Structures are given as structure tokens and as C-alpha cells.
Amino acid sequence: MATKKQNTETKKQAAKNGHKAESKQTKSILNEQHGHSLLGLNFRKSENFGEWYLEVIKKSDIVDERVPIKGFNVLMPEGYEIWHIMMDRLDSMLKRIGVRNYYFPLLIPERFLKKEAEHFKGFSPETAWVTHAGETKLEERLAIRPTSETIMYEMFKLWIRSYQDLPLKANQYTNIVRWDTKSTKPLIRDREFLWHEGHSAHASEEEAEKEVGEILKIYRSLITGVLGIDYIELIRPEWDKFAGAEYSVALDAVMPDGKILQIGTVHNLGQNFSKPLEMVFLDSEGKKKYPYQLSYGVTTRLLGALIGIHGDDRGLILPPEVAPVQIAIVPIYTKDSREKILEKCSEIFGRLEKSFRVMLDDSEKTPGFKFHQHELKGVPLRIEIGPKDLEKKQVTLVRRDFLEKIPVEEERLESQISEAFDSVFLQLKKRSEENLIVRDAKNFEELKSSLNAGGFVRINFCMRESCADKIKADTKAEVRGTLFSIEEKVAGGCAACGQKANAKAYVARAY
């Protein structure tokens, strides 16, 4: 509703400033040229999130899913650039705690993958195997990495000799393949995806436990602090933890359709890998010990969450810190004013280029077309410069979220941009916080009705898998886990079976 009103106001405002909105004729020509409606989206986010999502990632050049292999897509330049910027930010945070980057092989010998029995059992159903080289059958099957614990730790074993080699903190940016049998959705459920995977080995359990907290802090700084996405940290139930972990902490965000998306994980592996792999170090007294380990990662799902959570009916809205183009300058001129306006735009571009990722859109397309393009791609700020602006020694700043037009004196431009960036970011973050809904339910009936409203439902729970299965069968919702940071008080019976509850569990329908 709010968007509709703002659109009308924007048009009025544009007319006042002499910024002509695109005519119907232009629109139809453009549609013919591109074979579909480039101006605006056909689906509304609030009415049909699923179709809106697919339309927006396609039209904003994030993903092209026309690859004829299910679950394998092209990550297009717009999407890939955002991913890179996010990973660059993460990289500097990881380096600060001593993590170094490596690149490990794509293939894992089957015998490596088999060493930790639970791990193999968990991953083998969705592992893709290399069995032949040309026509020759290989002596041993090689797994295309579904995750790299086993190949990495076989090497860790060679590198770790004494306590002085610890902690060992390794990370890699790479792709993985998991042959998921569920229905696929670009960036949300792909069979091949990009991720970063961090792996560490520590001399003591306490150190490993402390590292879990450090990584969670880093993820919070990136995901909430930079991307403006709120989420909760849940310890997954025993039956749903990472195959081979002592416990898994998962970051669960709420998508606009009320379904939950896991956007990151930290697994405390204890000695579950170091023991079967015989990874041994000598402590300061010369005694043989097994290191404690953890692994953690975020995937291109985070990009799917960013698009889904922040976008609106006009397209993406990117948080300024990760937008490949932070500011688009659009000249608005008549025949007579063309030269002067373009000159001013170049001057402003040259100035802003020093501090921001800025583009000057001086192509021959109409301003209206350009506005739509930059709005579709989520460029956080647009600068319009027309004859009136020139006269008043000002520019017109337009925020992507509210499409509000702010006249700004040329002299104060840089500081006004920084303020507007902060304000766009805070607005996105606020909306995401508001969308992170947790409702309480006392019994099974309440659970059922609350689930239909979307988001998380908190219940008293006995922590038995059979009860989780019952909930799943009746409601299609999953027991996602218990809060990581606080142990919540529990009194009364399990919402599913009525027997003594052991924890407050968070239940939700999920992707």
C-alpha cells in the first residue's frame, strides 16, 4: 500500500522538477525490444513471494537458470559481484582472528569420506561421484566435495605435530555439489553452490568452544551489521545436526513468506574427526592428544536471503555496503541544456568516484527507463541532475527504499550521501527485525494455528524425535532447535505429547 502512494507522489514530484516520467509509448517499445516487461515486475512481493522472487532474480541479472541441469545455474555479474563484496568483508573479519586462506582439491577419495562413519552416512545419499577417466574405470571412486572436512583434515594431520602448530585456522572460497532430491530454487536450494568453508583445530575443548563464539560474532557483524538481516541462532536437535558434529549452531532467518531459511552454520566437531583420522599432536608435556575442531560456512543462500528479505515490488534494495553500484547519476536534459548537464554530471562523477562505487548513466535511454533499471537492480541512491538543479547549484538525491527525493546543495553532497546510506541501511535492518516473528503456543492446536501465520512458534518440548516427527506429519513444520545464547526456562508439558518438557523449542516451516 505504502509503495503505491509513494509511486504517485514520486511521479508528481518528478513532474514538478521537470523530470519527465516515461510515456506509455516508450514502455511498449521497450517491452517489444526485450520480449518481456522490463519496466516493473509482474508479481507483487506481498501477494506471491515465490513468483516475485523468481522474476526479480532473473530481471535484475542475478541468476540465469536456463542451464539444462536441474539445480545448476549461472550466477550473473550482478549477483556474483554482490557475493564477492560480501565475501571480501567476511575475509577481512576472518583474517583478524588469524584465519588463512587455502585451496583444497575438488575431489575426495571415497576412503577418506568413509573414515567418520556418521559423516559418510549423512552425505553419501547426495554425493556426486567421479568413477571414470575417459573410458577407464578408476580404481577408487572420487567424491565431488559435498563439504571438505575429510580431505582437509587428512592434510591437517600432516601439518599438525605439536601444540605449537595449533590453533590451525583454515578457510576456502569454493563451490560444492550436493545432489539434493527436493525441488530446487535458485540460490535457495541449488545442487551446486558457492560458499566459504572455515575449519579449525584447537589444543583444548575450551579453545574450540570459544572459537564457536568468535565465529558467531563475525557472522553477526556481517549478516546483521553489513547486510541488515536479522536471524536467530539455534542449536539444531540431535537428529538434525551436521553429520559428524557434536552439535550444530544454525542461523535461521525468516523470509517474507514466513518460511525459515538457514543462512549459515557453525559446527562443533569435538574430536569426532581427529580420532578416526588419527590426527595427533604432542602437548607441552610431550603427551599425545587429539585436537578439537570446528567447521563453519555461509553459502550463496545468503544472497537469496538478501534479495528476498530486502526487495520490494520494484526490484532489489541493496544495503549500501554491498551494492556493486552504490550511486547512479542520471542526467536529465533538454536539447539546449544537454551539454551543460552532462558536464556537471561528469564533474560530480569525478568527485564521488573517490569515495563511492558510482556510475554515470549517460546512455541515450530515457531517464524513466534508467530509473526503472537502477530501481530493479537495487542501487541504494540515485542522483538526478536537471536544469533546475543546475540553476540552484544542487542535485536531487533519490533513496531506493522510499523513493524520496531530497534536494542537496552540491557542496554538502558527500556528507548527505553518507547520511542517506546509513538511513537506507537502518531502514532495511528495521524491516528485517520486524519480520523476525516468534509466537508462543501452549498446545498442539495453538501450535498449528500459529504456524499458519508464519515465522517461529516457541513451544515447550520434550526433545524427542518422535514428537518432532508427529509435528512434521501434522503441520509440515520442523523443530528447528533451541536458542544457542540463552537457556530458556521451561515449565509444563511438551506441546506435542504432554509429557515433561525439557526445553523451549522453535518450530517453523522452512525452505
Q: Which residues bind Zn ion (CB under 5 A)?
A: 462, 467, 494, 496-497
In the bound complex, what is the minimum distance in angstroms from residue 461's beta carbon to Zn ion?
6
In the bound complex, what is the minimum distance in angstroms from residue 321's beta carbon to Zn ion?
44
In the bound complex, what is the minimum distance in angstroms from residue 5's beta carbon to Zn ion?
48
In the bound complex, what is the minimum distance in angstroms from residue 499's beta carbon to Zn ion?
6
b or e along 336-355 (b: 16 or more beta carbons within 10 Å of the residue's beta carbon)?
ebeeebeebbeebbeebeee
**Closer residue to Zn ion (CB): 387 or 498:** 498
User: What backbone torsions phi and psi does residue 281 show, to the nearest 5 degrees?
Assistant: -130, 160
In the bound complex, what is the minimum distance in angstroms from residue 193's beta carbon to Zn ion?
35
Residue 47 burial (10 A CB sphere; 0-12, 13-18, 19+): exposed
Distance, in Å, from the CA atom of 84 to the CA atom of 131, rounded to the nearest integer, reads 33
**Closer residue to Zn ion (CB): 434 or 488:** 488
* Partners of 329 in beta bridges: 360, 383
In the bound complex, what is the minimum distance in angstroms from residue 466's beta carbon to Zn ion?
7
**Closer residue to Zn ion (CB): 235 or 496:** 496
Residue 456: CB partners within 8 Å, gap ≥ 6? 232, 252, 254, 260, 436, 437, 438, 439, 480, 506, 507, 508
- Work out the angle between the directed axes of helices 444-452 and 465-475 (0-180°, nearest 10): 50
**Closer residue to Zn ion (CB): 358 or 503:** 503
ω before 291 within 30° of 0 (cis)?
Answer: no
In the bound complex, what is the minimum distance in angstroms from residue 498's beta carbon to Zn ion?
7
Distance, in Å, from the CA atom of 463 to the CA atom of 482, rounded to the nearest integer, reads 10
**Closer residue to Zn ion (CB): 307 or 494:** 494
CA angle, corner 421, sides to 416 and 425, nearest 5? 150
**Closer residue to Zn ion (CB): 84 or 448:** 448
**Closer residue to Zn ion (CB): 155 or 497:** 497
| Residue 298 exposure: Cα atoms within 13 Å on the Cβ side | 27
Integer CA distances (angstroms), 60 to 40, 305, 485, in order: 11, 15, 37
In the bound complex, what is the minimum distance in angstroms from residue 479's beta carbon to Zn ion?
10
Between strands 107-109 and 192-202, the pairing is unpaired
Task: Using DSSP, state whether 300 is helix, strand or coil.
Answer: coil
**Closer residue to Zn ion (CB): 296 or 461:** 461
In the bound complex, what is the minimum distance in angstroms from residue 490's beta carbon to Zn ion?
12
Distance, in Å, from the CA atom of 129 to the CA atom of 107, rounded to the nearest integer, reads 9
**Closer residue to Zn ion (CB): 2 or 473:** 473
